[in-house]
Structure 1
Amino acid sequence: MATSTAPERIVTGRLLLRRFEEADRVEMVRFYGDPEVMAIRKYGARDPVAASLAFDILMEHWRTHGFGLYAMIERESDAFCGECGLRYTDDGAEVEISYGLFEPFRGKGYATEGAAAICDIALDVLKLPVLIAHSRGDNRGSHAVLEKIGMTFAGRRESPGHPHGVVKYMMDGDSGS
């Protein structure tokens, strides 16, 4: 369990990660509904109603836990790139790092840059004892990001709807980032 609250804004070399606001709902409904974005995500593309509900859950997570997902903004252009942050797993047992980008922002190192900053918050500010990540078994790009930020492979499991299963990565709070 987190021992403090995450900052509302994080600035990296090229990114601004900021807590989502109600004004971001339109972008996130577009994000959650984009088949290209969600093709490599564990939940898949959502219709506008389900996407709006997912945004409500994202906002509530911050209010309940003091941390959550951030809007990822490219500082140079002020463009909304996607999301990156922390959330409890669906069963509430662990905290996972999550990130996703619109296609034009992929391949630029933004996922690694954002995820590294989020790891620092998780371990150094929130003092989480363990940070995990889940990724589709065939999402090699995501696996590379997780390895670059210092996470280690912890196993693979079968998952309905994912023919390549889901992989899990971990990082102990003691190992730091």
Structure 2
Amino acid sequence: MDEVPVVTGRLVVRRFEAGDVRAFEAYRSDPEVARYQSWDVPVPDAADLVAEFAAAQEGAPGWFQYAVALRDGGGLIGDVGVCVHDNRMQAELGFTLARVHQGRGYATEAVRAVLARVLRSGIRRVSAECDARNTASARLLERLGFVREGFRRRHTWLKGEWTDDLLFGLLAEDGGPDLFGCRPDLVVSDLAASVAFYADVLGFRVGWRWSEGQGRFLADAEPTEPGTALVGRDHVQLMLTQLAGPHPTRLHLDIPTAAGVDRLFREWRERGAEIAEPPAVRPWGMYEMRVHDPDGTVLRVSSPPAS
């Protein structure tokens, strides 16, 4: 798994840092934020918790806490936790957001980014639960594709009272965010010259490992799609494709699973989309379909093949 951070439209999802202690302690000590959570306020040992979060190994069994901060130098506004099971195939999810930033879609944006990352890592099931009175969290989970799987009456003794619990589950093959990434596909006349420009002049790294669904860069002599290379720097990735003559714009849309590609294929076909090429495993190892928009833009929609 590539190292965080992950940058979304408005947020940076990253590791915790020593400078996060004050903001972390402030929002976790808010009685309204902690109302349905397991900790008491004020949150104890905030500095120790942040240090523990910062040192944790992402993807290892146990909890990993992602810090959620505003882009452009904004501070910490919340966190998303993922607890990976010992079998490394299932996980639990939790999330917390500062009260002043609630109601703006930040939690949905952050959890969606973490879910996409978790599902790409090979996790097949994500579970979550919340207090039945916490309707905002329940709605967020349902927006992200979680299915309500259970209701446990008076199951948890929390802060001096029995609480009812809602149980949710998300399966990699039939849920989660369908589109988790878009890499513009720039059509070029001379692939070698363009790759050299991006690498030597602009400082991009070059390559793509087609056999895996993660953004890993190539070792020497590994296969690529003929006439196509990927270049990346910081949080930007571009596909470069060599084509002669007139050509449309191309976008490369990432899907976590082959089932997600099939689901979009059925949905878009029923809605009247022009499916130029139905889903199929391509020679470079990706499961891909191609869709044309009214202006001729090619949408290449792909995932790793079904295992």
- 1:7 aligned counterpart, secondary structure: coil
1:55 aligned to 2:50? yes
Q: TM-score, normalised by structure 2?
A: 0.49
Distance in 1 between the 2:38 and 2:2 partners? 25
In angstroms, what is the RMSD of aligned CA positions?
2.7
State which of 59, 74, 80 in structure 2 corresponds to 1:78. Answer: 74
Shift of 1:42: 3.3
Shift of 1:29: 2.5
Partner of 1:30: 26
1:159 aligned to 2:161? no
In structure 2, relative to structure 1, the CA distance for the partners of 1:16 and 1:150 (3 Å cut) is: same
Task: Identify which range, 102-111 or 16-25, moves more after superposition.
Answer: 16-25
Partner of 2:225: none
Letter in 2 for 1:32: R
Note if contact 2:28-2:98 (Cα within 8 Å) is conserved in structure 1: no
In structure 2, relative to structure 1, the CA distance for the partners of 1:61 and 1:135 (3 Å cut) is: farther
In structure 2, relative to structure 1, the CA distance for the partners of 1:63 and 1:127 (3 Å cut) is: closer
Partner of 1:43: 39
Note if contact 1:152-1:169 (Cα within 8 Å) is conserved in structure 2: yes
Distance in 2 between the 1:63 and 1:79 partners? 22
Distance in 2 between the 1:110 and 1:20 partners? 18
Q: TM-score, normalised by structure 1?
A: 0.81
- 2:41 aligned counterpart, secondary structure: coil
Note if contact 2:89-2:122 (Cα within 8 Å) is conserved in structure 1: no
Distance in 1 between the 2:92 and 2:10 partners? 23
Task: Identify which range, 99-108 or 39-48, moves more after superposition.
Answer: 39-48
Note if contact 1:32-1:45 (Cα within 8 Å) is conserved in structure 2: yes
Note if contact 2:90-2:126 (Cα within 8 Å) is conserved in structure 1: yes
Q: Deviations over 1:27-48 (max 9, x none)?
A: 2223332222211323343443
Q: Deviations over 1:116-158 (max 9, x none)?
A: 111111112x110111112112100000000000011121221
**Percent of aligned pairs with the same amino acid:** 24
Unaligned ranges ≥5, structure 1: none
Partner of 2:170: 171
Alignment map for 1:97-136 (pairs within 5 Å): 97-124=93-120, 126-136=121-131
Name the structure, 1 or 2, with higher relative contact order (CA <8 Å, separation 6+).
1
- 1:123 aligned counterpart, secondary structure: helix
Note if contact 1:101-1:111 (Cα within 8 Å) is conserved in structure 2: yes
Partner of 2:142: 147
